[in-house]
C-alpha cells in the first residue's frame, strides 16, 4: 500500500465524515418538516382503511374519498378540542400546573402536612426526610413542564396541523403515484419483495396506531372513572396526563400512579391529611393499579398482539430490550420498528428457522 493510497483513503474518510455531519446538520435544521412528514405518514397509514371504506362501501371516487377521510380527522380534532382543551386548561390552572413556583409551594405545604402526620404517630419526620433526601430528588418542574408541553402542543399547532393535513391529503390522494415512483427506484430483482413488505407494513402499522389510540382512550376512561368514584377534584386533567404517560410501555403506568397520587393530594390540600387526603390517595392508587392490571393483562396484549400479529410475551421482551438499549424513546418506538423488521425478515429470509417462528402469523 503506497502513501498515495493511504492519503486518498484518509481524504475519502474525512469527506464521508464531513458529508455525514453536513447531512445531520441539515436534518436538524429541517426537523420540523421531518416531524410533519412522519405524522402525515402515520395519519396516512391510519387513513388508508377509512379511505378504502369510503371507496368500497359508499362508492366515493378516490378524490372525494380522500376529502372525506380528512374531514373525519378534522371532525375528531375539533371535537377533542371543544370537549377537552377548555376543561384541561381550567383544571390545570386550579391545580397550579401552569406555575412552577405555585406547585412548588403546594408541594412544600403537602410535605409539611405529611411531617405533622408522622410526628403525631411518633415517627421522626426530620430524620425520615433527611434519609430520603427529598430536597435533591424532587424536581418540581417536571409536572408543569409536562403540562405546558401538552397545552402548547394542543393550543398552538395551527400551522403544523395545516401542514400535516396538506401532506396527508397528497399522501392519500397520490399513493398510487408514489408506489409507481418507488418502483422506478427499486431494483427489479427486489421489487416484488420490497413492495410486498411495504404493503404488509402499511397494514400492520395502521392497525397498531389505531390500537394505540384505542388503548389510550380506554385507559383515560378507566382512570377518569376511578377518580370520579372517589370524588377527586380536577379528575379530567389528572386522567388525561396519566393516560398520556401510558404511551411509554410498562414504565409509563408506574409513573402515572405516582403522578396521580401526587396530584390527588395537591388537589385536596384543604382537607385533613389523615382522614381525607391519605385515604383518598390510597384508594386512587389501588384503583389505578387495578386499571393497569386490566390494561397490562387484557386490553394491551389483545390490542397490540392482534394489531401487529405478535405474541404478548414477544412484545414484552422487545420493549424491555429496547428500553435497556435506547431508553424511554426506544420503548416507545420498539413495537413499530420490530414489526417492520419482522416483515422485511419474512420477505428476504423466509427460510430462516428463527424468522419462520417469529413471523408465522404475518
Helix/strand/coil for 14:
helix
pLDDT bin (cut points 50, 70, 90) of residue 173 is: confident
pLDDT score of 94 more than 60 = no
The pLDDT of residue 297 is 74
Locate the DSSP E strands across 122-232. none
pLDDT bin (cut points 50, 70, 90) of residue 213 is: confident
CA distance linking residue 289 with residue 214, whole number of Å: 19
CA distance linking residue 60 with residue 58, whole number of Å: 6
In 10 A of CB 321, how many CB atoms?
14
The pLDDT of residue 120 is 72
The pLDDT of residue 86 is 61
The angle at the Cα of 46, spanning 41 to 47, to the nearest 5 degrees, equals 90
CA distance linking residue 260 with residue 239, whole number of Å: 8
Residue 103 CA: distances (Å) to CA of 1, 143, 203, 265, 319: 68, 9, 45, 12, 33
pLDDT bin (cut points 50, 70, 90) of residue 106 is: low
CA distance linking residue 69 with residue 53, whole number of Å: 10
The pLDDT of residue 110 is 72
pLDDT score of 250 more than 80 = no
Q: What percent of the chain has pLDDT over 90?
A: 1
**Is residue 226 classed exposed, middle or buried when 0-12, 13-18 and 19+ CB atoms within 10 A define those classes?**
buried
User: What's the average model confidence in pLDDT over 66-91?
Assistant: 75
User: What's the average model confidence in pLDDT over 185-197?
Assistant: 72
| Contacts for 58-66: CB closer than 8 Å, 24+ residues apart | 62/173, 63/173, 66/169, 66/172, 66/173
pLDDT score of 146 more than 70 = no
* C-alpha torsion sign, points 83, 86, 89, 90: negative
| Contacts for 288-294: CB closer than 8 Å, 24+ residues apart | 288/223, 288/226, 288/242, 288/253, 288/256, 288/257, 288/260, 289/257, 290/226, 291/219, 291/222, 291/223, 291/226, 292/253, 292/256, 292/257, 294/222
Residues near 262 by beta carbon (within 8 Å), at least 6 away in sequence: 107, 143
Residue 22 CA: distances (Å) to CA of 12, 28, 127, 133, 361: 15, 10, 55, 45, 42
User: What's the average model confidence in pLDDT over 139-149?
Assistant: 56
What does residue 338 show for φ and ψ, rounded to 5 degrees?
A: -60, -40
The angle at the Cα of 75, spanning 72 to 76, to the nearest 5 degrees, equals 85
The pLDDT of residue 179 is 67
pLDDT score of 17 more than 60 = yes
The angle at the Cα of 203, spanning 30 to 205, to the nearest 5 degrees, equals 45
The pLDDT of residue 38 is 73
Q: Encode burial over 243-261: b for 16+ CB neighbours within 10 A, e otherwise.
A: bbbbebbeebbeebbebbb
The pLDDT of residue 242 is 85
User: What's the average model confidence in pLDDT over 79-84?
Assistant: 68
pLDDT bin (cut points 50, 70, 90) of residue 252 is: confident
Give pLDDT tens digits for 306-328.
777 777 778 888 888 888 887 77
Q: Give the cell for residue 361.
A: 402469523
Q: Give the cell for residue 239.
A: 386522567
The pLDDT of residue 333 is 77
The secondary structure of residue 22, as a DSSP letter, is H
The pLDDT of residue 206 is 74
pLDDT score of 97 more than 60 = no
The pLDDT of residue 230 is 85
The pLDDT of residue 105 is 65
Amino acid at each position: 500500500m503506497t502513501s498515495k493510497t493511504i492519503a486518498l483513503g484518509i481524504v475519502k474518510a474525512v469527506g464521508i465524515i464531513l458529508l455525514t455531519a453536513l447531512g445531520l446538520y441539515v436534518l436538524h435544521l429541517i426537523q420540523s418538516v421531518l416531524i410533519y412528514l412522519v405524522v402525515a405518514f402515520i395519519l396516512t397509514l391510519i387513513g388508508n382503511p377509512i379511505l378504502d371504506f369510503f371507496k368500497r362501501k359508499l362508492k366515493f371516487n378516490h378524490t372525494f374519498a380522500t376529502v372525506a377521510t380528512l374531514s373525519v380527522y378534522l371532525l375528531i380534532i375539533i371535537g377533542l378540542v371543544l370537549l377537552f382543551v377548555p376543561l384541561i386548561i381550567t383544571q390545570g390552572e386550579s391545580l397550579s400546573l401552569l406555575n412552577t413556583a405555585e406547585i412548588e409551594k403546594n408541594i412544600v405545604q403537602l410535605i409539611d402536612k405529611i411531617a405533622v402526620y408522622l410526628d403525631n404517630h411518633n415517627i421522626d419526620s426530620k430524620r425520615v426526610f433527611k434519609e430520603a433526601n427529598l430536597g435533591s430528588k424532587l424536581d418540581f418542574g417536571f409536572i408543569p413542564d409536562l403540562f405546558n408541553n401538552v397545552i402548547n402542543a394542543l393550543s398552538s399547532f395551527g400551522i403544523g396541523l395545516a401542514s400535516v393535513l396538506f401532506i396527508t391529503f397528497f399522501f392519500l390522494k397520490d399513493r398510487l403515484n408514489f408506489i409507481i415512483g418507488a418502483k422506478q427506484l427499486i431494483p427489479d430483482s427486489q421489487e416484488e419483495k420490497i413492495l410486498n413488505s411495504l404493503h404488509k407494513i402499511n397494514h400492520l402499522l395502521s392497525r397498531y396506531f389505531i390500537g394505540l389510540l384505542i388503548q389510550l382512550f380506554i385507559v383515560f376512561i378507566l382512570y377518569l372513572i376511578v377518580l370520579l368514584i372517589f370524588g377527586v377534584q380536577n379528575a379530567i386533567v389528572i386522567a388525561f396526563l396519566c393516560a398520556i404517560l401510558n404511551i411509554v410501555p410498562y414504565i409509563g403506568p408506574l409513573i402515572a400512579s405516582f403522578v396521580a397520587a401526587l396530584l390527588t393530594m395537591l388537589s385536596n390540600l384543604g382537607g385533613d391529611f389523615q382522614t381525607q387526603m391519605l385515604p383518598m390517595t390510597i384508594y386512587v392508587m389501588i384503583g389505578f393499579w387495578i386499571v393497569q392490571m386490566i390494561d397490562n393483562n387484557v386490553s394491551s396484549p389483545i390490542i397490540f398482539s392482534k394489531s401487529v400479529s405478535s405474541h404478548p410475551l414477544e412484545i414484552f421482551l422487545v420493549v424491555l430490550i429496547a428500553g435497556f438499549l435506547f431508553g424511554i424513546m426506544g420503548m416507545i418506538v420498539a413495537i413499530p420498528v420490530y414489526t417492520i423488521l419482522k416483515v422485511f425478515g419474512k420477505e428476504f429470509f423466509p427460510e430462516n428457522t428463527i424468522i419462520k417462528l417469529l413471523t408465522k402469523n404475518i
